[in-house]
């Protein structure tokens, strides 16, 4: 049912292929699978985010193989080498695609670890809910999970504008047609903590993927189904309870809280007591690493709806809460706007980033 291209390395067996998942609907899933030459008893499924493909895991795969894992990296329905049908983009259906790939097409036995990044966190969550007995652990990264309270809060935030934009496929596809490269580059420039981690060559790979016929519409359909996904997940949890497997949910320093108040946190471990800064949506306190020079410690008082700190009103004491977004309020680095691909300006001696 699948067409494979074997590749042999010194200590790794790997192959790529496209497996028929639903011939009647014309759905084929592209994948890469790698394992130690001596065999592996543990399997991990790495699911990419958006706007990306399985190519995003290329640096992670060798490390997991070296650690003794069999690694399966698919392009989910609508992305990369996989088919781009008109429908079937609810995460319940997409999870079935990957489950069939892993267990029927690749013949892998036993439960697996599921890892999802960004949009694929939602897909990984659906996989773990639907196939509870076939999952040994779940890792989600940097995305709200449909069916949770945080998802309901996050989807209406100003910085989540693309949720609604993509939920109107006809408009989104029309406006991005012929501009796919620029459009996906904006996501990398705006949302990555270290923009130069994604090179021009990487952009070329992703641009080709989303310039393909049907790729942008498939991406939009994935977003359009999110509220439907939330209903499915809530119903499943109500019927079967919460997940009982270990769940890990790491987030990068840039998302969502620290990035919103960027300049207040450093990569290095804190050397003085933690600083209280407001959260992005409610203004309630959140503990984050030590503040950079010029970033004021704030309480909930003085926090606006964005979670930033207002400028002092007339009569306020000098040096009180200053706006961390103001270039004149602190010696932080000034990011260029529009942000330049793969980098930003730094002020001499600044260690904020």
Q: Do 199 and 277 sit in the same domain of this protein?
A: no
User: Would you give the DSSP letter of residue 349?
Assistant: T
Number of domains within the chain: 2
- Write out the residue range of the structural domain in which residue 104 sits: 2-248
> What local confidence, expressed as pLDDT, does residue 300 receive?
33
Q: 230-254, pLDDT tens digit by residue?
A: 999 999 999 999 999 999 998 755 5
- The residue among 208, 231, 248 that closes a domain is 248
Rounded Cα gap, residues 78 and 71, in angstroms: 21
Mean of pLDDT values over 152-167: 92
- The residue among 248, 280, 295 that closes a domain is 248
Rounded Cα gap, residues 27 and 96, in angstroms: 12
Instruction: Place 2 in a pLDDT band, splitting at 50, 70 and 90.
Output: low
Which position has the token pair 């904006």?
Answer: 186
pLDDT beyond 70 at 349: no
Mean of pLDDT values over 129-141: 97
CB-CB contact of 195 with 189 (8 Å): yes
Strand partners, 112: 135
pLDDT beyond 90 at 321: no
- Burial class of residue 3 in the structure, from the number of CB atoms within 10 Å of its CB (0-12 exposed, 13-18 middle, 19+ buried): exposed
Residues of the chain with pLDDT > 90: what percent?
A: 59
Rounded Cα gap, residues 6 and 218, in angstroms: 29
Rounded Cα gap, residues 149 and 34, in angstroms: 37
Q: Do 79 and 24 sit in the same domain of this protein?
A: yes
pLDDT beyond 90 at 316: no
Q: 251-308, pLDDT tens digit by residue?
A: 755 554 333 223 322 333 333 333 323 333 333 333 333 333 333 333 333 333 334 3
> Looking at the domain assignment, is residue 316 inside a domain?
no
Tell me the chain's radius of gyration from C-alpha atoms: 22
* More confident of the two residues 124 and 298: 124
For residue 146, give the nearest of 251, 221, 237 by alpha carbon.
237
CB-CB contact of 34 with 71 (8 Å): yes
* More confident of the two residues 214 and 267: 214
What is the CB-side half-sphere exposure of residue 267 using CA atoms within 13 A? Answer: 8
- The residue among 223, 248, 273 that closes a domain is 248
- The mean pLDDT of the chain is 77
| 242: CB partners within 8 A, 6+ apart | none
Q: Do 283 and 329 sit in the same domain of this protein?
A: yes
Across 70-79, 126-135, 302-311, least confident range? 302-311
> Distance between alpha carbon 252 and the CA centroid of its chain, in Å?
10
Q: 49-60, pLDDT tens digit by residue?
A: 999 999 999 999
């Amino acid at each position: 049912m699948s067409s494979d291209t074997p590749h042999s390395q010194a200590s790794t067996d790997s192959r790529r292929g496209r497996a028929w998942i639903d011939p009647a609907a014309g759905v084929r899933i592209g994948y890469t699978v790698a394992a130690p030459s001596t065999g592996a008893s543990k399997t991990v499924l790495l699911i990419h985010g958006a706007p990306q493909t399985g190519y995003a895991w290329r640096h992670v795969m060798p490390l997991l193989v070296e650690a003794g894992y069999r690694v399966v990296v698919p392009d989910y329905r609508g992305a990369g080498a996989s088919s781009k049908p008109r429908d079937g983009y609810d995460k319940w259906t997409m999870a079935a695609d990957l489950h069939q790939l892993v267990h029927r097409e690749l013949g892998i036995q036993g439960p697996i670890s599921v890892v999802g990044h960004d949009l694929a966190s939602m897909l990984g969550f659906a996989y773990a809910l639907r196939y509870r007995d076939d999952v040994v652990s779940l890792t989600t990264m940097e995305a709200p999970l449909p069916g949770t309270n945080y998802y309901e809060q996050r989807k209406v935030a100003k910085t989540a504008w693309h949720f609604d934009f993509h939920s109107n496929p006809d408009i989104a596809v029309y406006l991005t047609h012929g501009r796919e490269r620029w459009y996906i580059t904006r996501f990398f420039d705006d949302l990555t903590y270290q923009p130069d981690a994604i090179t021009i060559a990487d952009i070329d790979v992703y641009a080709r993927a989303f310039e393909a016929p049907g790729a942008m519409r498939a991406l939009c359909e994935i977003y359009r189904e999110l509220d439907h996904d939330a209903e499915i997940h809530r119903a499943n949890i109500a019927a079967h309870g919460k997940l009982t497997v270990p769940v890990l949910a790491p987030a990068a320093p840039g998302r969502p809280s620290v990035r919103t108040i960027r300049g207040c946190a450093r990569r290095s471990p804190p050397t003085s007591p933690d600083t209280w800064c407001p959260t992005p949506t409610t203004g309630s306190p959140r503990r984050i690493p030590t503040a950079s020079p010029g970033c004021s410690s704030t309480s909930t008082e003085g926090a606006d709806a964005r979670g930033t700190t207002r400028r002092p009103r007339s009569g306020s004491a000098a040096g009180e809460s200053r706006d961390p977004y103001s270039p004149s309020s602190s010696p932080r680095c000034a990011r260029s706007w529009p942000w330049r691909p793969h980098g930003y300006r730094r002020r001499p001696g600044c260690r904020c980033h």
